[in-house]
Amino acid sequence: MAAIELQGLVKRYGKTQVVHGIDLTIEDGEFVVFVGPSGCGKSTTLRMIAGLEEIDGGTISIGGRAVNRLEPKERNIAMVFQNYAIYPHMSVAENIGFGLYTAKLDKAEKRRRVEETGRILGLEALLERKPSALSGGQRQRVAIGRAMVRDPAAFLFDEPLSNLDAQLRAQMRLEIKRLHQRLGRTIVFVTHDQVEAMTLADRIVVMRDGRILQVGAPMELYEKPADVFTARFIGSPTMNILPARATTAAGATTLALGEQPLALPTAMGTVPADLLVGVRPQQLRVLANGEASDLVLSGKAAVIEPLGSETFVHVEHGGGLILASAPAKAPPAVGEIVRLGAPASALTLFDAASERAL
Partner 1 sequence: MSAAASPLALRFEPGRIIAWLLLFGGGLLMVTPLAFMFATSLKDSSEIYDLAFFPAHPTFDNYLTVLSDGRFLRWFLNSFGIATVVTLSNVFFDSLVGYTLAKFQFRGRYLVFIAILSTLMIPTEMLVIPWYVMAKNFGWLDSYWGIMFPGMMTAFGTFLMKQFFETVPNDFLEAARIDGLNEFAIFWRIALPLVTPALSALAIFTFLSNWTAFIWPLIVTTSKELYTLPVGLTSFAVESQVQWELIMTGAALATLPTLTVFLLLQRYIVRGVVLAGLKG
- Interaction mask 134-163, partner 1, x per CB under 8 A: ------------x---x-------------
Min dist CB 141 to partner 1, Å, is 15
Residue 18 makes contact with partner 1 by CB under 8 A: no
Query: Which residues ranging from 255 to 284 are in contact with partner 1 (CB under 8 A)?
Result: none
Q: Which is nearer to partner 1, 89 or 329 (CB)?
A: 89
Q: Which stretch binds partner 1 (CB under 8 A): 8-16, 48-56, 123-131, 295-303?
A: 48-56
Three-class secondary structure assignment of the chain: CCCEEEEEEEEEECCEEEEEEEEEEECCCCEEEEECCCCCCHHHHHHHHHCCCCCCEEEEEECCEECCCCCHHHCCEEEECCCCCCCCCCCHHHHHHHCCCCCCCCHHHHHHHHHHHHHHCCCHHHCCCCHHHCCHHHHHHHHHHHHHCCCCCEEEEECCCCCCCHHHHHHHHHHHHHHHHHHCCEEEEEECCHHHHHHHCCEEEEEECCEEEEEECHHHHHHCCCEHHHHHHCCCCCCEEEEEEEEEECCEEEEECCCCCEECCHHHCCCCCEEEEEECCCCCEECCCCCCCCEEEEEEEEEEEECCCEEEEEEEECCEEEEEEEECCCCCCCCCEEEEEECHHHEEEEECCCCEEC
If the CB atoms of residues 33 and 78 are measured against partner 1, the closer one turns out to be 78
Query: Which one among 32, 62, 79, 148 touches partner 1, defined by CB under 8 A?
Result: 79
Least Å distance, CB 181 to partner 1, is 24
Please state the closest distance from residue 226 (CB atom) to partner 1, in A: 33
x/- map, 83-122, partner 1, by CB under 8 A: x-x-xxx--------xx-xx--------------------
Considering only 61-69, 72-80, 179-187, 215-223, which stretch makes contact with partner 1 by CB under 8 A? 72-80
Q: Which is nearer to partner 1, 98 or 229 (CB)?
A: 98
> What is the binding site for partner 1 (CB under 8 A)?
50-52, 71-73, 77-79, 81-83, 85, 87-89, 98-99, 101-102, 146, 150
